[in-house]
C-alpha cells in the first residue's frame, strides 16, 4: 500500500510540474499587441458588415421557408403576419434605433479603412436636404459609414440634422434584413418614402441618395472617376416639389476598395449585367478584394484604403409643386456645377492628382 501511495504522489508531483512548465512556456511566449487586437477587431467588424449586406436577407428568407415544413412553422406564420401589418413602415420614415448607430463596432469599422467626414458648410436645421452621394462604388462604404453610423461625427458636425440613407426598395421585402436596415435609418429610394421624410417629418432631415445607382457600380474601378448623373434628374424634381436644398457630397477613395472585372460596352457579359440590373434593380458585379487571412490573399472583403467624404455647399432650392422641365434642368446644372467645384477643390487633398477629372455621363 505504501508503495502505491508513493507512486501516486510521484505522478501527481510530475503532473503539477508539467502544468507549471506549460504555463511558464505560455506566459513566456509572444502575446498579441494592442495593435494586433485592434486590427483583428477592425477586420471582424468589416466581415460582419459585408456578411450582413450580402447574406442576411437571403439566409433569413431561406430559413423561414424551411421552418414552414417543420414543427416550428408558427414562427414563419407570425413573421409573415408581422410583415403584412408593418408593410408600409419603411415608406413612412422607418424605425430608427439610435443605439445601433452608436454601436461600438462601427468605430472599428471606420478605423479599418479609415473613413473620414469633412464639412465645408453649415446645414441649418430649419431646412430639409437631399444629399447626393457620389460615387456609388461597389458597396457604398462611405455613404453607409457617414450617414448610417455615428462613428464619423455627422451629428456633431451638423447639429439638428437627421441623416437618412436610401437603398433599393426590394431590400425591405427581405425578412429580418428589413428590420436591420430600418434600425440604422435607411429607407427605400422611392418617391413616397423620400417625400414623407421631406414633407411629413418636420425639418432638419437630410436624405442621402446614391444617385448613380447600380448602373454606376458597373464602371467602378480604381483610378476611375466616372459618374452616372447627366440624365438622373428625379432627385432635383423632388427637391423642387418639397423645397429641399441640394447638397453634393463626394467620397474620395470609394472606388479603390475592390477590384472589378469590367466588361466593355457592347459585350455579351455587359449586356447580361444591364438586363439583370433593369429587372432586379441591382447589377451583378464580378469583383474581389482581400481575403480574411492576409492582405495578399483574395476574397470578398474590401481593401483597407482611406475614404474621405466631403460634404459640399447647399444649393438653395425654392418650393415649386409642379416644376417645369426647364426649371428642373436649370437646378440640375447648378447641382452639377457645385459638385464639380467640390471635386476640383478637394481632389489633390485626398489622393488624386491635379490632372484627374470628374467625368459625368
C-alpha–C-alpha distance, residues 152 and 115, integer Å:
7
Give buried/exposed letters for 75-95 (b at 16+ CB in 10 A, else e): ebeeeeeebeeeeebbbebbe
pLDDT at position 12 over 50:
no
Work out the pLDDT band at 271, boundaries 50, 70, 90: confident
Let me know: does 317 contact 221? Beta carbons within 8 Å: no
3-state class (DSSP) for residue 257: coil
Cell reading at 150: 455615428
| pLDDT on residue 277 | 65
Determine the pLDDT at residue 85: 94
**Which position has the higher pLDDT, 302 or 292?**
302
- The answer to whether residues 127 and 198 touch, using CB atoms and an 8 Å cutoff, is no
pLDDT at 300: 87
Q: 319-333 pLDDT, tens per residue?
A: 999 999 999 999 999
Q: Is the pLDDT of residue 11 over 60?
A: no
Residue 222 has pLDDT above 70, yes or no: yes
Q: In this structure, how many other beta carbons lie within 10 angstroms of the beta carbon of residue 38?
A: 14
Alpha carbon distance 270, 276 (integer Å): 10
Report which secondary-structure segment, H or E, holds 28.
helix 2-28
pLDDT of residue 273: 65
Say if residue 281's pLDDT is above 70.
no
Angle value at C-alpha 327, between 325 and 329, nearest 5 degrees: 70
Q: Is the pLDDT of residue 313 over 70?
A: yes
Write the DSSP symbol of residue 20: H
Q: What percent of the chain has pLDDT over 70?
A: 86
Mean pLDDT of the chain: 87
Q: Cα separation of 75 and 273, whole Å?
A: 36
| Integer Cα distance of 343 and 311 in angstroms | 10
All three cell numbers of 64: 423561414
| Whether the predicted pLDDT of 336 surpasses 90 | yes
Q: What is the pLDDT of residue 347?
A: 94
**Is pLDDT of 215 > 50?**
yes
pLDDT of residue 153: 95
49-102 pLDDT, tens digit per residue, is 999 988 999 999 999 999 999 999 999 999 999 999 999 999 999 998 888 888
Rounded distance, CA 218 to CA 220, Å? 6
Question: What does the pLDDT read at residue 2?
Answer: 44
pLDDT above 70 (res 205): yes
> Are the C-beta atoms of residues 318 and 309 closer than 8 Å to each other?
no
Confidence grade of residue 284 (pLDDT, cut at 50, 70, 90): low
Query: Average pLDDT in the 12-20 region?
Result: 56
Residue 3 clears pLDDT 50, i.e. is over it:
no
Cβ neighbour number for residue 198 with a 10 Å cutoff: 22
| Confidence category of residue 6, pLDDT binned at 50, 70, 90 | very low
Q: Is the pLDDT of residue 23 over 70?
A: no
Q: What is the pLDDT of residue 288?
A: 82
Strand partners, 119: 311
What is the pLDDT, as a whole number, of residue 165?
A: 96
**Does pLDDT of 335 surpass 90?**
yes
Among the residue ranges 216-225, 301-310, 339-348, the one predicted with the least confidence is: 216-225
Amino acid at each position: 500500500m505504501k508503495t502505491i501511495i508513493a507512486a501516486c504522489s510521484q505522478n501527481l508531483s510530475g503532473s503539477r510540474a508539467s502544468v507549471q512548465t506549460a504555463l511558464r512556456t505560455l506566459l513566456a511566449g509572444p502575446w498579441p499587441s494592442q495593435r494586433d487586437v485592434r486590427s483583428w477587431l477592425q477586420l471582424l467588424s468589416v466581415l460582419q458588415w459585408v456578411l450582413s449586406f450580402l447574406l442576411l436577407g437571403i439566409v433569413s428568407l431561406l430559413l423561414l421557408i424551411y421552418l414552414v415544413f417543420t414543427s416550428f412553422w408558427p414562427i414563419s406564420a407570425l413573421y409573415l403576419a408581422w410583415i403584412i401589418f408593418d408593410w408600409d413602415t419603411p415608406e413612412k420614415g422607418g424605425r430608427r434605433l439610435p443605439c445601433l448607430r452608436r454601436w461600438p463596432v462601427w468605430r472599428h469599422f471606420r478605423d479599418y479603412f479609415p473613413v473620414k467626414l469633412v464639412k465645408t458648410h453649415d446645414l441649418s436645421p430649419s431646412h430639409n436636404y437631399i444629399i447626393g452621394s457620389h460615387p456609388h462604388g461597389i458597396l457604398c462604404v462611405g455613404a453607409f459609414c457617414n450617414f448610417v453610423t455615428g462613428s464619423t461625427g455627422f451629428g456633431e458636425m451638423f447639429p439638428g440634422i437627421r441623416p437618412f440613407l436610401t437603398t433599393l426598395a426590394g431590400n425591405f421585402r427581405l425578412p429580418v434584413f428589413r428590420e436591420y436596415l430600418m434600425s440604422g435609418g435607411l429607407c427605400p429610394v422611392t418617391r413616397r418614402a423620400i417625400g414623407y421624410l421631406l414633407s411629413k417629418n418636420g425639418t432638419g432631415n437630410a436624405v442621402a441618395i446614391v444617385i448613380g445607382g447600380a448602373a454606376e457600380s458597373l464602371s467602378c474601378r480604381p483610378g476611375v472617376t466616372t459618374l452616372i448623373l447627366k440624365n438622373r434628374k428625379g432627385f432635383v424634381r423632388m427637391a423642387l416639389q418639397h423645397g429641399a436644398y441640394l447638397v453634393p457630397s463626394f467620397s474620395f477613395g470609394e472606388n479603390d476598395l475592390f477590384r472589378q472585372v469590367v466588361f466593355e460596352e457592347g459585350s455579351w457579359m455587359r449586356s447580361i449585367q444591364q438586363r439583370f440590373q433593369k429587372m432586379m434593380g441591382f447589377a451583378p458585379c464580378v469583383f474581389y478584394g482581400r481575403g480574411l487571412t492576409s492582405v495578399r490573399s483574395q476574397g470578398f472583403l474590401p481593401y483597407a484604403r482611406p475614404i474621405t467624404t466631403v460634404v459640399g455647399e447647399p444649393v438653395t432650392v425654392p418650393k415649386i409643386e409642379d416644376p417645369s422641365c426647364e426649371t428642373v434642368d436649370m437646378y440640375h446644372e447648378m447641382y452639377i456645377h457645385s459638385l464639380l467645384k467640390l471635386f476640383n477643390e478637394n481632389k489633390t487633398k485626398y489622393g488624386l492628382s491635379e490632372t484627374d477629372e470628374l467625368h459625368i455621363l
